[in-house]
Amino acid sequence: MLVGSSGGHLAQLYALRPWWTDRFRTWVTFPTQDAHSLLGGENVVYAHYPTTRNIPNLLRNALLAVKMLRRSRPDVVISTGAGVALPFFIVARLLRIPTVYVEVYDRLETRTLTARLCAPFTSRMLVQFEEQMRLYKGATMVGPLL
């Protein structure tokens, strides 16, 4: 399951195409123009947004995560953030589904809020630049996605 906000977060998940292209997958993102365009023909579930400081949508997305993860039981949940990732990572952890968080490319000096919130529920943290390694103990550097 690939979970990410639309825009740059979705673009970075999409850049993993060589890895996911031959695998069954479900996308969780927002119903925006770029998501509709990029994910045409894909199995997509639309999450509730906005997520920034929006408790009702956090709760709606938590219920969506419970429903989706219990029903589909993916092998792994992968996310580049942002806010939509947190409920999926928490529920995945409770269901013992591995999670992989890929930190975004534009944060080299500080950790993103979503990465900080998801860290306790993350099975593996991936970073795109060497500078990010010092921010995340035990992270794996995968190189730039875009």
In which band, very low, low, confident or very high, does the pLDDT at 36 lie, cut at 50, 70 and 90? very high
Residue pLDDT, tens place only, 39-95 = 999 999 999 999 888 999 999 999 999 999 999 999 999 999 998 999 999 999 999
Mean pLDDT, the chain, integer: 95
Domains of the chain and any CATH numbers? 2-141 (3.40.50.2000)
Peptide bond preceding 50 in cis form (omega within 30 of 0): yes
**What's the pLDDT at 106?**
82
- What CA–CA distances, in Å, run from 74 to 56, 80, 98, 114, 130? 26, 17, 9, 21, 30
pTM: 0.94
